Structure 1
Amino acid sequence: MESFALILLYLAIPSLLFSAVQQLRTWKKKKLGPPARFPGPKLFPVVGRVHDLPRFAMWLKLKEWADIYGPIYQTRMLNQPFIIVSDEKIAEELLVKRGHIYSGRPQIRSLFRHKEGPSYVALMDRHDIWTRQRKWVHAAMAESHRNHFYGHVENESARFLGLMLMDPSRFLDYTREFCGRVMSRLAWDDATQGKTNGDSADMTLHCMSVSGPITNTMTPIWHLPFAVNPWKKFEVKREAAQRAWWINNYRLARDRMLRGELPSDTWAYRYFEQLQREGNHELVQTEDQEVFACCMIGFFNLVGVVTISGPLKFFLMAMALHPVWQRKAQEEIDRVCGNRMPTMKDFADLPTVRACLKETVRWRSGVPLGVPHQAEKDDEFRGVQIKKGTIILACEWSINRVESKYPDPESFRPERWLEPGWPTYQEPLSRYPNFREGQGMHTFGWGRRTCLGNNIVDDEMFCFGAAVLWAFNMGPKVCPRTGEPVHIDTQATNSHVILEPSTFYMDFKPRSRERGADVLDGYKSLVGELKI
């Protein structure tokens, strides 16, 4: 192990030498007078602070520094400067009002060509491919939301409840599959791809995360010759398999379109219909055109899994750990819905359910670091020069713990969204809280890089959360040997850019025999339609 560490160190020497040269230049400039800078932790020659920044749960360290150095501070990892923001107003000033400067994406070493495209629109630089894909996705998502995603979310919620009735021990697998099925149905009309979709999303997240391949932090070793480079070999295989999967689904959908069998409520149909309106009735495309489209729809489909699966799992955890709020939400559902499963039509009448969901995302953010922005040119903020290439992190974990906005931030407090007097309270409760607008929308990013999926998050989390509360009583798993509840570690996660909690254990019990029968009847009625 020690020899391996030494090998990594020697491989990193070119980068360290470059950093040393940069450091010497900095010292030379200091002789002319120190420039204004933001506060921050002490920077060591060459390495900056890379030595004590953890690859896992990095947001906790950034929050610790924010408590010391304030709402905006700077640091450096080798030769890469960072500015960490923990204040909404500062983030808005930089990432929204100056979005023409701070909307780049940093290089993720272990993902091929992500800045150029066309595979990952959320990770591209701003150029023509990004503009065209984002514009199309925005229009497709808006149309789907106007139709509340065509009932697919409610149908998949009913399927999920049926599976949980039969085998509740697999609730974590079923939750991710639920998200994958919704997105695959909307993309290509093939919900059976749900599990593959979830697995593909998880592997992509691993490869783009600091906690993933070591090449994302020890970047020089990415340039080892291919024959002795296991990280590059893995990425070649992973990316090729994902691309082939996207292309295959795209071509199957195209064949169905030509036969008149593809449902009009799919994103693939929408794309093919546009081609036909332009005169391309046989849907003949060049290879580049086909890759552009299959990656656009494929990534659109994939990102809708990873952004929702984690928050839903944290919601189940929150309900197990906070039985008082579980009962309050169930009582509200019983008053409004009685014996029927809730649907989107009940949205306005179930504010307690929405508050529990909204508070889950604040309490255990799915994107605790925020998604990094990169300065596309030099700038100045509060008298401090910000160089092109600087990475700006609006740390969501810290922003969600600003006491003036979120009093008692470490506690799960849904009442902050429901009761006058709390800074986050908004009226009317028939509209707020939600994931489309209002307070706490920084979860979805900033400015020109804001996530386009807040509408599907709103619908999917509401339908899922309300359905589970309607059907089951939830609590921690009880150890059969000791009779004590099995501990749930609420901060144990996979440490990806977008989180899912690590494996934890819960009990799910139908709220009554009659409710269990209702769940089973709903499942049976959808067996044929959902290709279960």
Structure 2
Amino acid sequence: MLSVALLGVISLVLAVVYAGIKEQKRKRVPPGTRPLPGPTGLPFIGRVHDVPSVATWLKFWEWSKVYGPIYQMEIFGSVHVWISSEEIANDLLSKRGTIYSDRPTIPNLPDNRTSGDYLALLGRTGTWKRQRKVSHQVMSHPTAESLYNYPSVECKRLLYKMSKDPSNYISHVEQYTSRTISRLSWGAPHFADELRIGTFGLLTTISPSGAVPNIVSWLSHLPAWLSPWQQVENARHARERKFFHHCYESVKSAIANGVAAPSYMKVFLEEKEKGKHEMRDEEGQYIVGMIAIAGALTIGSPLQSYILAMCHYPEWQERLREEIRGVCGERCPEWEDRERLPMLRAVMKEVVRWRPPVPTGIPHCLEKDDVYNGYHIPAGATIHALEWGITRDPTIYPSPESFLPERWLSPTYPTYREPLTHYPTLKNHSQFGFGRRTCTGVDIVEQELFLVMGGMAWAFDIRKKRDEEGREIEVPLARYTSLLIAKPERFEFECGVVEREGEERGMRERADFESGDAGWGLSERDRDSDVDGDVDGNGKEVLVEKEVLVKVECVEVEGPQAWR
């Protein structure tokens, strides 16, 4: 019987030979074309040794300043093309979307293109087209236009949590994003804890810096009993599948009992009952589950970057409060105020530009050989729209390293657009992808960022912390996590409650929520702990009344009471 070591050596040799054959075929450039420029590397491994383990996007951006706005490099036999020009990205990924809309295989998730479990990562297949159509159907349903007021409800919880313990801001922000998308996906917030665990697990699985096979791709060919990464991934996927099925069954049960809150899964099931689609329930579980994971993954990054920006540019808080006061008086801004708050939208968009949540972009894969401006791009190449580089083009973004929300508000900047009742907006922003792979959840992102950034500006004065001698404690500007979705590493700051003229110090007001109306209020457990909400036997969140710090008035609206 062959030993484990010998089998490992055989697997390695076969992988190297296979990669070598692929490399020789790929290097044949058709007559009349030339290869893209780029850094030369060592045989087989390329320049992988020059790519840092953190802030990899800075190295790719550095190379773009040497080799131009489109260049290629090789890593372990695979061709990677990096684009740092929005014009080129649109030329290829949007205008030539028929061949640039595929996704590459993720070595640590080898069935991502074909399994039907990962909508955003699926290849350009019939399954992807069918699932994308149904996802649009549930997210754009007329009942979902206002997002059921869930972002507003959860924003007030976040402000309360921040007022009690700002040092735990990362947890508060992550709870906000996961609870909001949990409500949207399944009608209740109590799925959020497990969703956060699953979200981090998938992010680690797909990130180049999260799992070794994503860099050393031949490791994905090892048998499961030789691959600890595959064993971890198999366990993660099994837990994920069980969780999504549990959420689906909970919504089905709530519908049967007549107590289901509005949600994407509820729309999916009701539309299927009406014959609007024929999607299998198993696929629907993963469609809604992937919407939930995408919503929990990305939105926390710009919210944490906003806090970072306010530590370094506190003058923008004053300007925001002045705009909010002029439009909203002493109340917290709501989504309905957006047309009259262009500065808030400008700050929101500038945060996303200044510190893009996905600085390397979500990769595409080229389906067949292509030629661009005389350059040959080989089939199978992984195409990266380097968002960090795109948002640092000085011809479009003067002083790109500076935080300048006015670039969206002043006609002196090339990014200015009218009318200001609509612009600036996150729609069509490069951060949300190109062509047929554009993010379908931009409306969710825009509303959540608007409410939370506006709420924080209204409620808090965020500043750098001071030491015992009164000196400011420095907050690092560029220290971000290394996974695919980058977030600022934890930092300290002061978060004082804004006092308002004519109001009692500390601003106390009452939040009254009707008990038993699932999804519309905050339980006492929600307010006073970091554990997600209690649920009764029918899937309803148990709600109580309690006085809350840092809030706004609560008025009667049709249906249950809601924050205004």
TM-score, normalised on structure 2? 0.85
Which position in structure 2 is the counterpart of 1:4?
none
Which position in structure 2 is the counterpart of 1:506?
493
Q: Is the 8 A contact 2:33 2:374 kept in 1?
A: no
Which position in structure 1 is the counterpart of 2:353?
362
Q: Which amino acid aligns with 1:275?
A: K
Q: Give the aligned length.
A: 512
3-state secondary structure, aligned to 1:530: coil
TM-score, normalised on structure 1? 0.90
Which position in structure 1 is the counterpart of 2:175?
177
Deviations 1:312-358 (A, max 9, x none): 11111111221111111111111211221110111011111111111
Which position in structure 2 is the counterpart of 1:468?
456
Q: Note closer, same or farther for the CA distance 1:24–1:97 as it changes in structure 2 (3 Å cut).
A: closer
Q: Structure 1: how far apart are the matches of 2:11 and 2:504? A: 61
Q: How far apart are 1:53 and its partner, in Å?
A: 2.1
Equivalent runs, 1:95-494 vs 2, <5 Å? 95-143=93-141, 147-263=145-261, 265-278=262-275, 289-437=280-428, 441-479=429-467, 481-494=468-481
Q: How far apart are 1:240 and its partner, in Å?
A: 0.9
Q: Which amino acid aligns with 1:364?
A: R
Q: Structure 1: how far apart are the matches of 2:42 and 2:289? A: 43
Deviations 1:1-54 (A, max 9, x none): xxxxxx999975544444444555678x58x98951122112333222222123
Q: Note closer, same or farther for the CA distance 1:297–1:51 as it changes in structure 2 (3 Å cut).
A: same
Q: Which amino acid aligns with 2:485?
A: I
Q: How far apart are 1:525 and its partner, in Å?
A: 4.5
Q: Structure 1: how far apart are the matches of 2:285 and 2:333? A: 35
Q: Is the 8 A contact 1:180 1:197 kept in 2?
A: yes
Q: How far apart are 1:477 and its partner, in Å?
A: 2.6
Q: Structure 1: how far apart are the matches of 2:9 and 2:471? A: 47
Instruction: Between 59-68 and 269-278, report the one with greater CA deviation.
Output: 269-278
Q: Structure 2: how far apart are the matches of 1:26 and 1:431? A: 47
3-state secondary structure, aligned to 1:488: coil
Q: Is the 8 A contact 1:180 1:305 kept in 2?
A: yes
Q: Note closer, same or farther for the CA distance 1:66–1:319 as it changes in structure 2 (3 Å cut).
A: same
Q: Is the 8 A contact 2:191 2:247 kept in 1?
A: no
Instruction: Between 224-233 and 353-362, report the one with greater CA deviation.
Output: 224-233
Q: Unmatched 5+ residue regions in structure 2?
A: 1-6, 527-564
Q: Unmatched 5+ residue regions in structure 1?
A: 1-6
3-state secondary structure, aligned to 2:35: coil
Q: Note closer, same or farther for the CA distance 1:526–1:389 as it changes in structure 2 (3 Å cut).
A: farther
Q: Which amino acid aligns with 2:273?
A: Q
Q: How far apart are 1:145 and its partner, in Å?
A: 8.4
Q: How far apart are 1:186 and its partner, in Å?
A: 0.9
Select the residue among 59, 62, 68 that pairs with 1:61. Answer: 59
Which position in structure 1 is the counterpart of 2:532?
none
Q: Structure 2: how far apart are the matches of 1:516 and 1:254? A: 47
Q: Note closer, same or farther for the CA distance 1:44–1:512 as it changes in structure 2 (3 Å cut).
A: same
3-state secondary structure, aligned to 2:376: strand
3-state secondary structure, aligned to 2:401: coil
Select the residue among 36, 39, 46 that pairs with 1:38. Answer: 36
Q: Which amino acid aligns with 2:317?
A: Q
Q: What RMSD, in angstroms, separates the aligned Cα atoms of the two structures?
A: 2.6
Q: Which amino acid aligns with 1:44?
A: L
Deviations 1:243-293 (A, max 9, x none): 111110111111111222212x2111111112221399xxxx9xx933211
Instruction: Between 418-427 and 483-492, report the one with greater CA deviation.
Output: 483-492
3-state secondary structure, aligned to 1:425: coil
Deviations 1:193-242 (A, max 9, x none): 22332232122111100010111111222333323421111111111111
Q: How far apart are 1:486 and its partner, in Å?
A: 2.7
Q: Structure 2: how far apart are the matches of 1:342 and 1:503? A: 27
Q: Note closer, same or farther for the CA distance 1:515–1:500 as it changes in structure 2 (3 Å cut).
A: farther
Q: Note closer, same or farther for the CA distance 1:21–1:419 as it changes in structure 2 (3 Å cut).
A: same
Q: How far apart are 1:112 and its partner, in Å?
A: 4.9
Q: Which amino acid aligns with 2:196?
A: G
Sequence identity (%) = 34
Q: Structure 2: how far apart are the matches of 1:454 and 1:260? A: 31
Which position in structure 2 is the counterpart of 1:78?
76
Q: Note closer, same or farther for the CA distance 1:26–1:517 as it changes in structure 2 (3 Å cut).
A: closer
Instruction: Between 245-254 and 72-81, report the one with greater CA deviation.
Output: 72-81
Q: Is the 8 A contact 2:105 2:111 kept in 1?
A: no
Q: Note closer, same or farther for the CA distance 1:279–1:152 as it changes in structure 2 (3 Å cut).
A: closer
Q: How far apart are 1:178 and its partner, in Å?
A: 0.4
Q: Structure 1: how far apart are the matches of 2:17 and 2:203? A: 31
